[in-house]
């Protein structure tokens, strides 16, 4: 496993995503993921699985200081009235005194961003989170974060080999924040790319593993693939026993011209 470091905290460059995993699915998948070696776990209030994740974390033999847990405040809870109570509810469900990373999940144009950022900072001051950040923020929103002065550690957004996010990555890095790439395998579509298939044969891995390796080999980029299939969970984790050449990295990067965006709800900001 490779890591990046922020404010004295080590963040595994590969995490286990839990979007759309609920009930028995998330219980079994997360237990297996921890057995495989995952230590970075990504969830959110909107996923409605914090309670199940908390049950797994409560009985795991993995010590808390070896885990990196992320959750996110849903966009309807970003007001001064709702923000901290919603975080406290998340902590109760997760059975944790704190999370390692707390994010604003999506911006809400009906709630002043500065109000939400102030509450995010308060959550950190109260010890609810070691690191704070945002998710699905475009360049304009990051500029407002910068102007307000909130020291974010992360911006989580859709990023994979079929989507060009250069502008957003550059702005995120300018704030000394790292990128967390969700939908890192484009919901499986990267597996159909001939470039990735060809490279995968050289290393005797899958095209999906190559796509994940391309992400985690980039500076300050974390990837959080998700699967409920045990074989895929294991495969996704096995991306640190080979390295791509600079030429291969460039060949994969060229696929970004496809600009395939998969996540674009009506409340999303205007993408760069």
The b/e string for 155-179 (b: 16+ C-beta within 10 A; e otherwise) is: bbbbbbbbbbbeebbebbeebebbb
Spatial contact of 252 and 211, defined as CB atoms under 8 Å apart: yes
The two structure tokens encoding residue 118? 């102030």
Q: Which of 3, 38, 47, 203 is catalytic?
A: 47
Q: Which residue has the tokens 């020291």?
A: 151
67-100 as b/e: b if 16+ CB within 10 A: bbbbbbbbbbbbeeebbbebbeebbebbebebbb
> Is residue 128 flagged as an active site residue?
no
Which residues are the active-site residues?
47
């Amino acid at each position: 496993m490779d890591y990046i470091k922020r404010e004295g905290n080590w963040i595994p460059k590969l995490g286990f995503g839990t979007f759309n995993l609920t009930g028995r699915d998330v219980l079994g998948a997360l237990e297996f993921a921890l057995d495989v070696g995952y230590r970075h776990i990504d969830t959110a209030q909107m996923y409605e699985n914090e309670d199940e994740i908390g049950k797994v974390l409560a009985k795991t033999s993995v010590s808390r200081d070896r885990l990196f847990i992320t959750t996110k405040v849903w966009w309807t809870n970003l007001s001064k009235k709702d923000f901290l109570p919603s975080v406290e509810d998340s902590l109760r469900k997760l059975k944790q005194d704190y999370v390692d990373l707390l994010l604003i999940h999506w911006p809400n144009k009906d709630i002043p961003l500065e109000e939400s950022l102030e509450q995010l900072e308060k959550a950190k001051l109260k010890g609810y989170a070691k690191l704070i950040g945002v998710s699905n923020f475009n360049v304009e929103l990051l500029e407002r974060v910068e102007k307000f002065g909130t020291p974010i550690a992360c911006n989580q957004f859709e990023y994979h080999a079929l989507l060009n996010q250069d502008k957003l990555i550059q702005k995120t890095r300018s704030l000394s924040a790292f990128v967390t790439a969700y939908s890192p395998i484009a919901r499986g579509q990267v597996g159909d790319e001939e470039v990735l298939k060809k490279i995968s044969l050289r290393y005797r891995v899958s095209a999906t593993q190559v796509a994940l390796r391309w992400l985690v080999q980039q500076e300050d980029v974390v990837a959080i693939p998700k699967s409920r299939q045990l074989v895929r969970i294991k495969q996704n984790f096995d991306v640190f026993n080979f390295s791509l050449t600079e030429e291969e990295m460039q060949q994969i990067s060229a696929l970004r011209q496809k600009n395939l965006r998969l996540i674009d709800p009506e409340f999303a900001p205007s993408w760069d």
